[in-house]
């Protein structure tokens, strides 16, 4: 039995797991299942709220009144922090990356709507992100506030717990559906979901390969970042488990031009799944990962007589900011 630290009940869980019947029949390959973490909430939809249940519990327990975090201008994580901060009565300051003046659409519109303070920085300025966090930490402390900094994506030792809990939930899903999936697939950007699923499957004795499809950096980066998060988790919470022996599987062949930019093939996949199954992906995270998974299936990289589970980590609001890519 896994012993968890304190958390706030912020997510609508457990989320459904169901088979994509029509898509599975169409591709004539593995049976594809989808874990609907896009249904963890309305404004908090996606994977980030699972991590934030533990991170914000830590912030509240420490008496913090201000949340500082960072991400791209259409960050799902920043939107979730902004919304949850408003729900909990906490000030939120977002450090957002963008080289152009962003339009108030998608996640950014929601950030503004719920009253977050927003500072925009260029790609070049964002390279000094640690210094930016320190500056705003000092700023709020001088005002007598007590700030709590959350890393990009909520990915650190504490945030890992979110997808350890999700792995336990998945184990119950698999038992209920009487399946033993060969592979558990998800989009990976900051590495926290990947870290949590890897160690969560280990702690729950689940013999499933966890495979992250990168949306930004290469496999070598995720090898370092995920292992660093796992080491931090182990140092903070001291579980007796072999972190160094864990395998970190990252496919970095479907990132597209750059983070946040998808090619027409990704938008085609988004449209196909929406029409076939009524499930909406986004072009930043899940669309790239789902497209990559389908390409790998077409190339014969997965056993046709197996079950594959795709973890839908949300992102609908990001799609609304890139609707031109749908060509309607």
Residues annotated as catalytic (active site), given as ranges: 75
Tell me, letter by letter, the H, E, C secondary structure of 140-153: HHHCCCCEEEECHH
What does DSSP assign to residue 261? B
33 bridge partner residues? 19, 309
Q: Is 193 left (phi over 0), alpha (psi -120 to 50) or beta?
A: alpha
Q: What SS3 state is found at 325? A: helix
Are the CB atoms for 53 and 10 separated by under 8 Å?
yes
Measured CA to CA, the distance from residue 94 to residue 69 in angstroms comes to 5
Q: What SS3 state is found at 258? A: strand
Nearest to 106 by CA among 67, 129, 85, 78: 78
């Amino acid at each position: 039995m896994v012993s968890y630290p304190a958390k706030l009940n912020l997510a609508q869980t457990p989320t459904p797991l169901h088979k994509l019947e029509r898509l599975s029949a169409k591709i004539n390959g593995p049976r594809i299942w989808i874990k609907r973490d896009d249904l963890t909430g309305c404004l908090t939809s996606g994977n980030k709220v699972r991590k934030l249940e533990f991170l914000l519990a830590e912030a509240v327990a420490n008496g913090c009144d201000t949340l500082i975090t960072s991400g791209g201008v259409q960050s799902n994580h920043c939107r979730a922090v902004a919304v949850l901060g408003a729900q909990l009565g906490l000030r939120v300051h977002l450090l957002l990356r963008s080289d152009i003046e962003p339009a108030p659409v998608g996640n950014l519109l929601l950030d503004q709507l719920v009253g977050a303070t927003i500072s925009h920085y260029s790609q070049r300025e964002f390279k000094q992100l640690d210094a930016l966090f320190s500056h705003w930490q000092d700023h709020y402390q001088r005002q007598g506030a007590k700030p709590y900094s959350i890393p990009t994506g909520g990915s650190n030792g504490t945030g890992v717990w979110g997808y350890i809990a999700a792995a336990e939930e998945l184990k119950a899903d698999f038992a209920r559906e009487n399946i033993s999936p060969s592979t558990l697939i998800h989009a990976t950007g900051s590495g926290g979901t990947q870290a949590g699923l890897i160690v969560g499957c280990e702690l729950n004795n689940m013999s499933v390969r966890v495979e992250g499809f990168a949306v930004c950096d290469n496999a070598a980066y995720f090898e370092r970042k995920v292992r660093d998060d796992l080491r931090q988790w182990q140092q903070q919470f001291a579980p007796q488990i072999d972190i160094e022996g864990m395998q970190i599987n990252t496919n970095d062949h479907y990132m597209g031009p750059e983070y946040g930019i998808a090619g027409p093939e990704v938008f085609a996949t988004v449209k196909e799944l929406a029409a076939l199954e009524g499930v909406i992906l986004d072009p930043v995270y899940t669309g790239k990962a789902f497209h990559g998974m389908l390409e790998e299936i077409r190339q014969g990289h997965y056993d046709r007589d197996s079950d594959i589970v795709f973890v839908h980590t949300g992102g609908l609001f990001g799609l609304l900011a890139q609707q031109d890519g749908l060509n309607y």
